[in-house]
Structure 1
Amino acid sequence: MHDQHSNTAPREWRGNKVSLRPFGPANITPAYLGWLGDRQLMRYSNQRFRQHDVASCQAYLAGFAGSDNLFLAIYHDERMVGTMTVYHSRQHGTADIGLLIGPEGQGLGLGRDAWGTMLEHLLASGVRKVTGGTLRCNSAMVRIMQACGMQPDGVRVGQELVDGAPQDVLYFARFAN
């Protein structure tokens, strides 16, 4: 992984399998909109309660402009396979990561590589604590965070409903050394 940031070049972080690049208007494709409308893919996300179209995605992307937060496209073999968000709280030295891997990228270790790449970058850049959360029933995401050395950081018992059943929200964290 390396950070290729200068005043003239876009940021890019490279992992072993993926590269992370700023998400831009060109990433709002029919395939991306299809991910957001895929009930199975979004079953653990609160995005499942919203309708998404080009305009709503453009508005979401615009919300990152001028902020410390990041909205990234995850690429594998030069094809976008997912997205990642990073919400910084500079005052507290923390960052919270979110991840979405599209259907064609699942089961290949791409989510783990993307998560680990950004986690290591954030910790190396001076962030003191990186956090993430997921529903207990989202075992793939739990495994990703655990594999990246994150530790339990709290539980909200029965916080959200999935298919009518209460599910715990699990929080994980990793501190800089």
Structure 2
Amino acid sequence: MNTKSIRLTTAALAATAATAMLVTGCSSNSSSSPSSSAAPTTSASAATSAAPGTAAPAGKSSASVDGNALTADFTTTCAKQGGTLALALTDTGNSTYGQLSVSAAIAGDNTVQAVGIAGSKGGQNGMPYAVGYGNGAPGGSATVTKSGDTYHVTGEGVGAPDLTNPTAGVKNSKFDITFACSSIVGG
């Protein structure tokens, strides 16, 4: 088995977990009155009429991998700390992927540091689902465009290896993610 590909996948998953923790630490799903300061979240379904490779309609968060939309009831959370913007889509009860999270970390205004798409199930041979990208790591690329508080991240990441077939290596997958932020915590 190629230990380099396992390290890359592990690094991408670690980046996903770190981004998700940063963002979920800043979010709240509890009810609050309009005058409270609870962190904003936006719920949006990824089942949209947007064609693969195009941004979702205004105000809608979505994600697709290899041109296939991830059908989910996403909660969108966006938070900024220092020069890093953490973006996350979560669906904790997804029928296909279990606990599904899609995240990206953006440095400055236009450098994608990491992208992670992970599910507690839905991968090959009963394994968890994972696709990740880390800036500087071989096997992927990512770009971001911004329109208001909507971020469109596209690129290619490395998928989790099939542990039942160690000689198969890892699979690269294209991703297309729209994070429609109603507001940005700390931003």
Task: Report the TM-score, using the length of structure 2 for normalisation.
Answer: 0.31
Greater RCO, CA 8 A, separation 6+: 2
Q: Which has the higher helix share?
A: 1
